[in-house]
Every structure is written in structure tokens, then in C-alpha cells.
């Protein structure tokens, strides 16, 4: 990107909280059930029904807000956001308007490859709200029938709004990855984008240096981005598009209304969406059916305590405690808690963090990427990998054959010990090795002569022969003994 | 027939005693009331639906269980009428609106569930102003209810059917709801006892909401003793209503007969201003004199912000109503416009606009969804409901919120503070329920503003969340009942009931009966 402009991006992320039941009723939040089977009078908004807050949902949002370094006010309330839509049965969504449950936090992002400087992205606010239902529009055959599934209605969502602190698609992606890592790490959400547990809208505009000074272009909100990759592509598309528009129209912020554009993933473009017919006046007001929530210092302290070690803490500790490079620590921690725990177990049990890191970042990660597998589904358990590293370090498994053992363990689920046996690897007795050396040296007087005249590398020819006779021969040790014997025979002459 | 009429004229408490002693069968009692309904309700119109078969079956079941000494609920065998705004599982709850004409709730409201658990006989559903909006029951989409004391006059509202059925001995007990006076005002105009509990005292779960922060369910009865019995049955904490209060329910019916010794009564200076009918004023002053004769001390107090109460109420209640009633859009349940007709209508409009090349008109033409909303709501709601939805929608709109809703909330706080101050000096506040006795049917239909002023003395209690009771304290020259209102601090229903009871012991207004 040239120096013509800087990109300014803020993200609004909706995260579905990992509760068993909905925010204001006891219906299940399980994904994928038959349409309209997970509803009740409350989430259907039937006359006379009343919402009652799900305390677990609030506790999870509190935990998240604390992890995002937010300020937690002592008093927060519920508001009704009112609009008509068939998938919103009460014709209002219970949300939080002017007194959200948290605000003014931050999340630190960095890139292990160094494509941008580490930075703190400010979080404007995070608030709880209920989800709407799902409209399914079937416009086939001219019959524009719509269907509505209210299973999702009332599911707890945490809306996390960032300040416009992101200045590239790479930063936006890093922010999303770090956010997802954090939220899955503390267990508040599965952040599954396919199932809609994590949804992203982006606000983007440009700051352009002109001879008349710095100007800002109108803000565009991008929707319909269904993966982090889509977010990255949409932003990469949108920034130069806005620059072209500015070159054509010269329109500055405030001179055009905020526009909403949808990302078309297959075409790779953003398209203007028809703005809502009536300007959106949601007529927010406090929900009289719910009481405000009072948050005590103790509850905040409890939430903080429940967080444990966060990803950023883990990265630091891996550098300090295991001597990993910052890069390796990031690579491991960014894989999520499964890989992180796996690495720690291997490192602890083998007592060799360097090797553990090497095996995890190379072999294990390759396996995860190849089959898109869960770490727990991999044939080599952490204990077995640790056992293998120990076997190498103890000389029970020759290093060059470790890979072979690993592959076997992977396919059979066996321990290092079993693999070593299976492969017929056994330590060659020292006297047998000396015997073998003698035998080969006797058969190859030229080699002996070469060695004696200083051509030490001549031994190499014998190593191959030795391996053929006994595959368990440790080439290093064989070489040492041969050299010793060859020199001995020279001095004894 | 004479034994019948003495039976249904006796108090619910007396009837319950007979039932418990085995001297009266519930079937007998229920049938007596069904007969009374059959002969009187054609004139009064208190009931929207009489649940004859179900009531008799319930009564038979109670009688059977009593005979075999099975445990029974505390109202076992007593008929109770329920305002048609509280859901009763699988039966219709209309809120006297076309919108919900065929709506069957798949659940019981907590109050109905408690009545069922108490083995009360649910005898029928009473008429009301549509969605409880109004003070005359004339806003019902289905029928007019007449005041049993003068069939040309309104029973008040919105719980007009609830008050009229008790006044005309068509039910010993009935359940009403009170958002701005909807229990106390019709009770006053019909000469019965009506109590609005402290906000949160009775669960709102299953009560179809009008204005959530003001709505309360309460009892109507002939006497404070009977009201105490019904209140203690329906009150209590409910986990399904986040605004319900987690406080123990006193045994009101046990304590009601204890007089309040040396009770300090406050008379509100602002209540005796212009607009108050002189006969009402003197009846109230006489009632206060009765209290003095019973050892009460009387003190004049001031509620300086009460003059803003009606204005405050008519911002807050419509704001909440506009939101609560938005769900009736014809999509999921309730009235939906004839879609084929609607689509035809739209197509015709489009054609006309196209013919006229009216681009602006075309761009403004409703989508079929929006037209479905518009037509369903415009057909389903009556005029008063629409008026309040529009008031509330306006007051919550961007740019008006602070000036109306937020300001109203502030005044509401001041009104509550006035009461807090007053109750430092007095135990009860006494005053009129309404400025006038019952008005003629149709008299105020075209004058919504004066209809709103009917709530003048009652709305403050809803805004402040405090309990209030209305009890008969006399009759005017035309023979129409006059109501006395007592107000108490939050959760002091017991004090209200004891105060009312001690007055009833000294007077006989509550024993008079209308001739129908
Ligand atoms: Zn539900």
C-alpha cells in the first residue's frame, strides 16, 4: 500500500456465549436443532410472558469484559431496541444502550512475523443482548414465501465494539484471531463462525493526506463476512475502492451518509446494500420487565480470578520458563489451549522443552493442518511424544530413527517403547560393536592404511557396510571405535 | 330463590366457612352464582365468557375431595371471576381486543395458577377496556358493561366487569388489574372493595402487559375481609417475574379484624381542590370523621407533585404500552389481515401509481410485509389503544425522549419522594377515589382528555408503586356509590385492609345492594 492514505478500521464482533440456555428463558441454545423446537412463551414473546435474566450469561460476559481489560460499572441495565421484523417476535430486542455492562478496555495484538508493530487496540464497550431469529427467504419459482426459525431467538450475544484503532487488514485479522483465542481460552464462547457464534461487521474509512491537509472519507460498514479470511479480503478490497471513489467524488466524511455494504465472497467485491426505508430510530428505553444488574467489587474480583493464565501470559511464561523464542511461543499459544497444553505436557515430561517445541511446531502442527484435526485426535499423545524424546536423549532411540518411530506411533497409537521394539531397534552391545569393527577393518586393510595416513573420512565407507550387517549400529559410536582400533594397530606395529 | 339470594349476598368468608363445615356444596354455591349471572348479566354485561361447565366440574371435584377428606386449597369451592387479561392455559384470553379474539395461551398466569392451586372455581372472564386502557370499560371491542347501580352509567374501568360482577352478586370475588386506578376506580364507582397491591407484591407473569412498570393484579370483593382472603392467595414472590418482590406474604385474613389503634390519617390538601364533587368531598370528610371517632388522629398533608401525576402517567404508560403492544403484528399469532385482499389492494395501488407515472408514490408504496403490519394492527386495535400507541411512540422518538420520557421518570421519582415524606408523619392517606360518581355511558367517549382526568386521585399510587384500597363510603343524591381511597407505604397492604375493615365495622355502606 502506498503512502497516499491510511486505512482506519473498527470492528464490531458479536459473540454467542457458551450457555446451555438462552438469555431470558430456559430454552436450549444447542445449534442445529429442527426449526422452532427450542422455543417457549418467553422467547416467542407471547402475551404475558416475562424475561428473567440468565445469571450464567451475565457471569460469562463479566469474565470476558475483565479479560478485555474493561472498566466494569457497578450498575448496568437493560434497554429495548425497537424495530419490526418477522424474526423478532416481541418487536424489540433486549439489549444495553447507554449503560453497558463494560467499557474502555483493550486487547494487545502483534504479529510473530513482524508485519506490523505490536499495538493495543482499544475496546469501546462490550454489552450483552439477545439474538433475533433467522429468516429464510425462499424466492424460488416466483413465490416469495419466507420461513422463520426462532430457535436462535433469545440466545445470549456479547457485542464487542473496538475503537477505530486498526490500520490494515492484517491488523484486523490479528485482532480477530487474538480475540477468538482469548474467548475460547477462557471458555466463554466456541467462536464458531460457521454456526454463527462469532460474527464480524467492520467499519472502515480512509485518512488521506491532501495539499489542503488531512481529510477523512465517509465511513462504510461492511457486513456478510463469514470467515476471518473474508474479513481480510473485504477490507483489502474496500480501502482502494474508497480511494477511487474519493478521487472521483471528493466526498468527505459528513458529506455522505454512512453506507452499509455487503461482502460478496465469490465475486470478491463489496456491494452497496439498500439502506432501510425509514431511518433507524430504535426508540431505546429501559426495559421495565427487568431489574438493573448491580455488580460488586467481589464479583469482578471473582471473575478476574476465574480467568487463570491468559494467552499473553502464556507466551511470556514459555519464553521465561522454557527458553522458547518469542516466535515459537506465539506459534504454540496461538494454536489455542489444546496445543498449548499438549506442548507443556511434552516439555515437562521429557524435560526437554527445545525438542518438545521442535516436534510440536513442526510435526504436530503439520498434522493439525493436514487433516484439520483436533489435537486430542492425534495418534501420538503428549505422554508418548515425551517418552519418545526421552528415549532419544537416553540413547535408547537413535536420533536418525526417531522420525520412523514417530510415524509408527502415529499410526498405531503405541508408546515409544513399543515402537522401538516393533522396529527392532535395540542397543548394540559394546563388545559386539568392537567385534564388528575388527571384522570390517580386517577385511579392508586399505581403509586402515588411509586412516593411518590421516584420511579419517575413509571410515565412511565402512559405516554403510556396518549398517547393512546390523541396522541398529549407532554410526557415531561405530566410527569412534573404528578410528581407535585403526590407530591402535598402527602404533602396535 | 330467597335462600339463593341470601347465599350470594353473604360474604365470601362466610361462604367459605359453610363450605368447610360441609353445610354448603360448592356445586350449590357455583350454581347460585351461575343463576345470578343468567338472570342479571344480560343487563350488566360484566362477563365476556362464563365458564359454566368447567366451573361446575371444578366445583363437583372440590365437593368430592372434601367428602373424602382430601386436602383442599384455601379458597376451595369459592367462585372467582377473572379479568380477561390474565392467561388461563388453553382457554381464550382476549384483553377485550379483536387482536387477541382467538388467542389461547399455552400457559397459566401465576395468579390463575395460584387460584387453581387454591381450588377456587374459575367462573368466568370479565369485560374490560381493551388492553386495560380506559376508565369506563367502553373501550372493550366486544360489549358494554353497565353499572349495576344505574344501568345507564358506566361501571368505571378498566376492570369494569370485575367490579360490576361483584356489585351485582354475580361472583363473590374477582381479580382485576390496576395500572392507573383500574381496580380502585371501578370499585369506587360500583360500591365494592378493590385493592391495588404494592408493585411487585403479586406476580405479573401471564398478565398481558399494558404498562409493565405500573401494572399490578389485585382483588375485588364485597368486604376487606374477603379482599384479604383473595390477596393472600395470589400474592408472593415469583421467579418468573423479575420485578416481583421476595418478601413473605402476611396472613392478611387473620389480621384484618385487628383495628389500627391511634392510626394517623393524612388528608391531602391538593385532593380537595376544584373539580371535586361536593357530595363526594363531604362523604370523604364524613368517613374521616368516623376514623376520628375510632381514635384516629387526622393531619393535613401535602403531595406537592401530585398535580403532575396524570401528565406523568400519560407519558410513561403510553411509552411502555407502545412497546409492549408492538408484538401484535399479525406475524406469529393474533389478528392478521386478509392477505389475498391486501395483496390485491397493493397491486391496484401500484397499477394506479404506474399509470400516473408517480415515481415518488411508487417509491413510497408499502412492501407487502409493511402493509400486512399496518392493516393487521389497524384492524386489530381500537381507537383508544391506537391513541396510546401513537402517544408512546412519539414520546420515545429521537429528539423527544429526554423532554417526555426522561422528564416523566424524574417527576415520578419526586412523586414517590412526596409519599415517603408524607408517610413519615401519617400511617394512612385518605381521600376520594374519583372526583365524581359514576358517569353516563357515552358521556366522555369523545373527550379522551377528561376521561384521563378520571385517574386524578389514583395514578399517583401506581407511579409511586405503593398500595391503595377503595371502599364504599356513601352514596350521592342519585343513589350512586362514593368510594374512599386509603393509601399506605410499600408492602403495608395489611395496614390498608385493617384500616378498611375498621371503617366497615362502624358503617354499613358495604352492605347495600343495587336493585337489578
Ligand atoms: Zn424460550
CATH assignment at residue A465: 1.10.10
Angstrom CA distances, B345 to B349, B370, B380, stand at 6, 13, 18
User: A441 forms bridges with which residues in the sheet?
Assistant: none
Buried b (16+ CB within 10 A) or exposed e, A376-387: eebbbbbebbbb
Q: Is B149 in contact with B480 (CB distance < 8 Å)?
A: yes
Euclidean distance between CA atoms A326 and A312, whole angstroms: 11
CB atoms within 10 A of CB A209: 12
Looking only at the bridges linking them, the beta strands covering A156-162 and A5-16 are antiparallel
**A41 with B106: Cβ contact below 8 A:** yes
Q: Is B299 in contact with A55 (CB distance < 8 Å)?
A: no
| pLDDT mean over B398-427 | 95
Asked if B25 is an interface residue toward chain A (Cβ–Cβ < 8 A), one would say no
Mean pLDDT of chain B: 95
A-B contacts at Cβ under 8 angstroms: 93
Tell me the CA end-to-end span of chain A in Å, nearest whole number. 76
| DSSP string for A99-121 | S-SEEEEEEEE--TT-SS--EEE
The residue from B11, B26, B36, B83 that is catalytic is B83
Q: Is B227 in contact with B221 (CB distance < 8 Å)?
A: yes
User: Are A109 and A68 in the same domain?
Assistant: yes
Q: A349 lies in a domain?
A: yes
Q: From chain B, pick out residues whose CB is under 8 angstroms from the CB of A148.
A: 331
Asked if A125 is an interface residue toward chain B (Cβ–Cβ < 8 A), one would say no
SS3 label, residue A231: helix
User: Are A383 and A476 in the same domain?
Assistant: no
Asked if A45 is an interface residue toward chain B (Cβ–Cβ < 8 A), one would say yes
Catalytic residue check, B182: yes
Grid look-up 392510626 returns B263
SS3 label, residue B126: strand
Q: A303 lies in a domain?
A: no
User: Are A207 and A226 in the same domain?
Assistant: yes
Q: Is B34 in contact with B244 (CB distance < 8 Å)?
A: no
Euclidean distance between CA atoms B455 and B440, whole angstroms: 17
User: Are A142 and A280 in the same domain?
Assistant: yes
Q: Is A157 in contact with A128 (CB distance < 8 Å)?
A: yes
Cross-chain CB nearest to A289 (options B242, B319, B401): B242
Cross-chain CB nearest to A80 (options B240, B243, B323): B323
Per-residue pLDDT of chain A (493 residues; tens, 9 = 90+): 456 899 999 999 999 999 999 999 999 998 888 999 999 999 999 999 999 999 999 999 999 999 999 999 999 999 999 999 999 999 999 999 999 999 999 999 988 888 898 999 999 999 999 999 998 876 555 566 788 999 999 999 999 999 999 999 999 999 999 999 999 999 999 998 888 899 999 999 999 988 888 899 999 999 999 999 999 999 999 999 999 999 898 888 888 888 899 999 999 999 988 665 445 789 999 999 999 999 999 999 999 999 989 999 999 999 999 999 989 999 899 888 888 999 999 988 888 888 889 988 888 888 887 546 778 888 888 888 888 888 878 877 777 778 888 888 888 888 878 877 777 777 767 777 788 888 888 888 888 888 888 887 878 878 888 777 777 777 777 888 888 887 777 655 4
Q: A390 lies in a domain?
A: yes
User: Are A31 and A170 in the same domain?
Assistant: yes
Q: Which three cell numbers stand for residue A3?
A: 503512502
Phi first, then psi: what are they for B504, rounded to 5°? -60, -35
Q: Which three cell numbers stand for residue A1?
A: 500500500
Looking only at the bridges linking them, the beta strands covering A285-286 and A293-294 are unpaired
User: B104 forms bridges with which residues in the sheet?
Assistant: B92
Catalytic residue check, B299: no
Residue B406: name the closest of A101, A284, A78 by CA: A284
pLDDT at B472: 98
| pLDDT mean over B305-313 | 94
Q: From chain B, pick out residues whose CB is under 8 angstroms from the CB of A89.
A: 327, 331-332
Euclidean distance between CA atoms A246 and B384, whole angstroms: 52
User: Are A314 and A291 in the same domain?
Assistant: no
User: Are A147 and A279 in the same domain?
Assistant: yes
Q: Give the percent of chain B with pLDDT over 70.
A: 99
pTM for the whole thing?
A: 0.89
Distance (angstroms) between ligand 1 centre and the Cα of A43 equals 4
Grid look-up 342519585 returns B478
Neighbours of ion ligand 1 (CB under 5 A): A 25, 27, 40, 42-43
Distance (angstroms) between ligand 1 centre and the Cα of B88 equals 19
Q: Is B47 in contact with B81 (CB distance < 8 Å)?
A: yes
Give the residue, B130 or B272, on which the prediction is more confident: B130
How far A309 CA lies from chain B's nearest CA (Å)?
36
User: Are A12 and A154 in the same domain?
Assistant: yes
Non-local CB neighbours of A218 within 8 Å, separated by 6+ positions: A205, A251, A252, A253, A254, A255, A256, A257, A258, A259
pLDDT at B3: 56
User: Are A237 and A352 in the same domain?
Assistant: no
Asked if B329 is an interface residue toward chain A (Cβ–Cβ < 8 A), one would say yes
The residue from B36, B109, B158, B306 that is catalytic is B158
% helix, strand, coil for chain B, step of 5: 45, 15, 40
Q: A304 lies in a domain?
A: no
Q: Which three cell numbers stand for residue A377?
A: 485426535
pLDDT at A206: 94
Q: Is A205 in contact with A167 (CB distance < 8 Å)?
A: no
Per-residue pLDDT tens over the stretch B315-365: 999 999 999 999 999 999 999 999 999 999 999 999 999 999 999 999 899
**What is the number of domains present in chain A?**
3
Per-residue pLDDT tens over the stretch B212-254: 999 999 999 999 999 999 999 999 999 999 999 999 999 999 9
**A89 with B332: Cβ contact below 8 A:** yes
Phi first, then psi: what are they for B56, rounded to 5°? -65, -35
Asked if B212 is an interface residue toward chain A (Cβ–Cβ < 8 A), one would say yes
Q: A270 lies in a domain?
A: yes
pLDDT at B4: 63
Residue B437: name the closest of B86, B188, B180 by CA: B188
User: Are A222 and A164 in the same domain?
Assistant: yes
Grid look-up 480511494 returns A243
Q: Is A206 in contact with A3 (CB distance < 8 Å)?
A: no
Q: A115 lies in a domain?
A: yes
Asked if A399 is an interface residue toward chain B (Cβ–Cβ < 8 A), one would say no
Cross-chain CB nearest to B397 (options A47, A90, A283): A283
Catalytic residue check, B158: yes
Q: Which three cell numbers stand for residue B453?
A: 382526568
Which CATH fold topology does B3-259 show? Amidase signature (AS) enzymes (3.90.1300)
Asked if B333 is an interface residue toward chain A (Cβ–Cβ < 8 A), one would say yes
Domain ranges within chain B, ordered by starting residue:
3-259, 329-380
pLDDT at B486: 98
**B242 with A53: Cβ contact below 8 A:** yes
Domain around A364: 309-422
Angle at B166 between CA B163 and CA B172, to 5 degrees: 140
Instruction: Tell me the ipTM for this assembly.
Output: 0.94
Domain's final residue, options A381, A402, A422: A422
Contacts 24+ apart (CB under 8 A), A74-78: A74/A294, A74/A295, A74/A296, A75/A99, A75/A292, A75/A293, A75/A294, A75/A295, A76/A100, A76/A101, A76/A292, A76/A293, A76/A295, A77/A286, A77/A287, A77/A290, A77/A292, A77/A293, A78/A53, A78/A286, A78/A287, A78/A290, A78/A292
Phi first, then psi: what are they for A21, rounded to 5°? -120, 170
Asked if B506 is an interface residue toward chain A (Cβ–Cβ < 8 A), one would say no
Displacement of CA A397 from its chain's centroid (Å) = 35
| DSSP string for A25-44 | S--B--TTPPTT-S--TTTT
Phi first, then psi: what are they for A277, rounded to 5°? -55, -55
Q: Work out the burial of residue B383: count CB atoms within 10 Å of its CB; fewer than 13 is exposed, 13-18 middle, 19 or more buried.
A: exposed
Residue B231: name the closest of B111, B391, B95 by CA: B111
pLDDT at A443: 85
Q: From chain A, pick out residues whose CB is under 8 angstroms from the CB of B393.
A: 283
Contacts 24+ apart (CB under 8 A), B237-241: B237/B203, B238/B110, B238/B203, B238/B205, B239/A52, B240/A50, B240/A52, B240/B110, B240/B203, B240/B205, B241/A50, B241/A52, B241/B110, B241/B200, B241/B203, B241/B204, B241/B205
Amino acid at each position: 500500500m502506498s503512502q497516499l492514505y491510511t486505512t482506519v478500521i473498527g470492528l464490531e464482533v458479536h459473540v454467542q456465549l457458551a450457555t446451555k440456555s438462552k438469555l431470558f428463558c430456559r430454552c436450549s441454545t444447542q445449534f442445529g436443532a429442527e426449526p422452532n423446537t427450542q422455543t417457549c412463551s418467553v422467547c416467542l414473546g407471547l402475551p404475558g410472558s416475562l424475561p428473567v435474566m440468565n445469571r450464567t450469561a451475565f457471569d460469562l460476559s463479566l469474565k470476558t469484559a475483565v479479560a478485555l481489560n474493561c472498566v466494569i460499572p457497578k450498575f448496568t441495565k437493560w434497554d429495548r431496541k425497537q424495530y419490526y421484523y418477522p424474526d423478532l417476535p416481541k418487536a424489540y430486542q433486549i439489549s444495553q444502550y447507554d449503560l453497558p455492562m463494560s467499557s474502555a478496555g483493550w486487547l494487545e495484538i502483534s504479529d510473530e512475523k513482524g508485519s506490523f508493530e505490536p499495538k493495543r487496540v482499544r475496546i469501546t464497550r462490550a454489552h450483552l443482548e439477545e439474538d433475533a431469529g433467522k429468516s429464510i427467504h425462499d424466492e424460488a419459482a416466483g413465490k416469495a414465501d419466507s420461513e422463520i426459525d426462532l430457535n436462535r431467538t433469545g440466545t445470549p450475544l456479547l457485542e464487542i465494539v473496538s475503537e477505530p484503532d486498526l490500520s490494515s487488514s492484517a491488523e484486523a485479522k490479528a485482532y480477530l484471531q487474538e480475540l477468538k483465542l482469548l474467548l475460547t481460552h477462557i471458555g466463554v464462547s466456541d467462536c464458531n463462525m460457521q454456526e454463527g457464534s462469532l460474527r464480524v461487521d467492520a467499519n472502515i474509512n480512509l485518512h488521506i493526506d491532501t495539499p489542503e491537509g488531512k481529510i477523512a472519507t465517509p465511513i462504510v460498514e461492511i457486513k456478510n463476512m463469514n470467515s476471518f479470511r473474508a474479513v481480510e479480503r473485504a477490507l483489502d478490497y474496500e480501502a482502494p475502492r474508497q480511494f477511487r471513489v474519493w478521487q472521483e467524488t471528493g466526498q468527505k466524511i459528513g458529506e455522505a451518509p454512512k453506507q452499509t455494504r455487503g461482502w460478496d465472497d465469490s465475486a470478491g467485491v463489496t456491494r452497496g446494500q439498500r439502506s432501510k426505508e425509514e431511518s433507524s430510530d430504535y426508540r431505546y428505553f429501559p426495559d421495565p420487565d427487568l431489574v438493573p444488574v448491580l455488580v460488586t467489587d467481589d464479583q469482578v474480583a471473582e471473575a478476574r480470578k476465574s480467568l487463570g493464565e491468559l494467552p499473553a501470559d502464556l507466551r511470556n511464561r514459555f519464553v521465561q520458563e522454557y527458553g522458547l523464542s518469542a516466535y515459537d511461543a506465539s506459534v504454540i499459544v496461538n494454536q489455542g489451549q489444546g496445543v498449548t497444553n499438549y506442548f507443556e505436557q511434552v516439555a515437562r515430561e521429557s524435560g526437554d522443552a527445545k525438542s518438545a517445541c521442535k516436534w510440536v511446531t513442526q510435526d504436530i502442527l503439520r498434522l493439525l493442518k493436514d487433516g484439520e484435526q483436533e489435537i486430542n485426535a492425534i495418534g501420538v499423545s503428549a505422554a508418548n511424544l515425551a517418552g519418545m524424546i526421552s528415549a532419544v536423549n537416553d540413547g535408547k532411540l537413535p536420533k536418525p530413527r526417531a522420525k520412523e518411530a514417530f510415524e509408527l506411533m502415529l499410526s498405531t497409537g503405541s508408546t515409544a517403547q513399543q515402537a522401538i521394539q516393533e522396529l527392532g531397534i535395540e542397543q548394540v552391545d559394546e563388545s559386539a560393536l568392537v567385534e564388528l569393527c575388527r571384522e570390517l577393518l580386517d577385511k579392508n586393510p586399505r581403509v586402515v592404511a588411509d586412516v593411518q595416513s590421516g584420511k579419517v573420512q575413509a571410515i565412511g565407507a565402512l559405516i554403510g557396510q556396518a549398517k547393512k550387517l546390523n541396522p541398529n549400529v549407532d554410526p557415531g559410536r561405530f566410527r569412534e571405535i573404528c578410528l581407535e582400533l585403526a590407530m591402535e594397530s598402527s602404533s602396535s606395529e | 330463590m330467597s335462600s339463593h339470594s341470601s347465599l350470594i349476598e353473604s360474604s365470601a368468608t362466610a361462604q367459605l366457612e359453610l363450605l368447610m363445615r360441609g353445610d354448603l356444596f360448592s356445586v350449590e354455591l357455583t350454581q347460585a352464582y351461575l343463576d345470578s349471572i343468567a338472570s342479571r348479566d344480560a343487563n350488566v354485561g360484566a362477563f365476556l365468557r362464563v365458564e359454566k361447565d368447567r366451573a361446575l366440574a371444578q366445583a363437583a371435584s372440590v365437593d368430592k375431595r372434601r367428602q373424602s377428606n382430601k386436602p383442599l386449597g384455601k379458597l376451595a369451592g369459592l367462585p372467582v371471576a377473572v379479568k380477561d387479561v390474565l392467561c388461563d392455559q388453553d382457554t381464550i384470553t382476549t384483553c377485550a381486543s379483536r387482536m387477541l379474539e382467538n388467542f389461547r395461551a399455552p400457559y397459566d398466569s401465576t395468579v390463575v395458577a395460584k387460584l387453581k392451586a387454591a381450588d377456587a372455581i374459575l367462573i368466568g372472564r370479565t369485560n374490560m377496556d381493551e388492553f386495560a386502557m380506559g376508565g369506563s370499560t367502553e373501550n372493550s371491542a366486544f360489549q358494554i358493561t353497565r353499572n349495576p347501580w344505574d344501568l345507564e352509567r358506566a361501571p368505571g374501568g378498566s376492570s369494569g366487569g370485575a367490579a360490576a360482577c361483584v356489585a351485582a352478586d354475580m361472583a363473590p370475588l374477582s381479580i382485576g388489574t390496576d395500572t392507573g386506578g383500574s381496580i380502585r376506580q371501578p370499585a369506587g364507582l360500583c360500591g365494592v372493595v378493590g385493592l391495588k397491591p404494592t408493585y411487585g407484591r403479586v406476580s405479573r407473569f401471564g398478565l398481558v402487559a399494558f404498562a409493565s412498570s405500573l401494572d399490578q393484579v389485585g382483588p375485588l370483593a364485597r368486604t376487606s375481609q374477603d379482599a384479604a382472603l383473595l390477596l393472600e392467595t395470589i400474592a408472593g414472590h415469583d421467579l418468573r417475574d423479575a420485578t416481583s418482590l421476595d418478601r413473605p406474604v402476611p396472613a392478611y385474613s387473620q389480621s384484618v379484624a385487628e383495628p389500627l389503634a391511634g392510626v394517623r390519617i393524612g388528608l391531602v390538601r391538593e385532593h380537595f381542590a376544584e373539580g371535586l364533587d361536593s357530595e363526594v368531598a363531604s362523604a370523604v370528610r364524613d368517613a374521616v370523621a368516623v376514623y376520628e371517632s375510632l381514635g384516629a388522629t387526622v393531619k393535613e398533608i401535602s403531595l406537592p407533585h401530585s398535580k403532575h401525576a396524570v401528565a406523568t402517567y400519560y407519558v410513561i404508560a403510553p411509552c411502555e404500552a407502545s412497546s409492549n403492544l408492538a408484538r401484535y403484528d399479525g406475524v406469529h399469532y393474533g389478528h392478521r389481515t386478509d392477505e389475498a385482499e391486501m395483496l390485491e389492494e397493493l397491486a391496484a395501488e401500484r397499477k394506479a401509481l404506474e399509470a400516473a407515472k408517480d415515481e415518488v408514490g411508487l417509491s413510497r408504496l408499502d412492501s407487502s410485509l409493511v402493509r400486512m403490519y399496518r392493516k393487521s394492527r389497524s384492524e386489530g386495535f381500537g381507537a383508544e389503544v391506537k391513541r396510546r400507541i401513537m402517544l408512546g411512540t412519539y414520546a420515545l422518538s429521537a429528539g423527544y425522549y429526554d423532554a417526555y420520557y426522561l422528564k416523566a421518570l424524574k417527576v415520578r421519582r419526586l412523586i414517590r419522594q412526596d409519599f415517603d415524606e408524607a408517610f413519615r408523619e401519617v400511617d394512612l392517606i385518605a381521600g376520594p377515589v374519583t372526583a365524581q360518581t359514576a358517569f353516563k355511558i357515552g358521556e366522555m367517549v369523545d373527550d379522551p382528555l377528561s376521561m384521563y382526568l378520571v385517574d386524578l386521585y389514583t395514578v399517583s399510587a401506581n407511579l409511586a408503586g405503593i398500595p391503595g384500597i377503595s371502599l364504599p363510603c356513601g352514596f350521592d343524591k342519585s343513589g350512586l356509590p362514593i368510594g374512599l381511597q386509603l393509601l399506605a407505604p410499600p408492602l403495608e397492604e395489611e395496614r390498608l385492609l385493617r384500616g378498611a375493615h375498621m371503617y366497615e365495622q362502624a358503617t354499613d355502606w358495604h352492605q347495600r345492594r343495587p336493585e337489578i
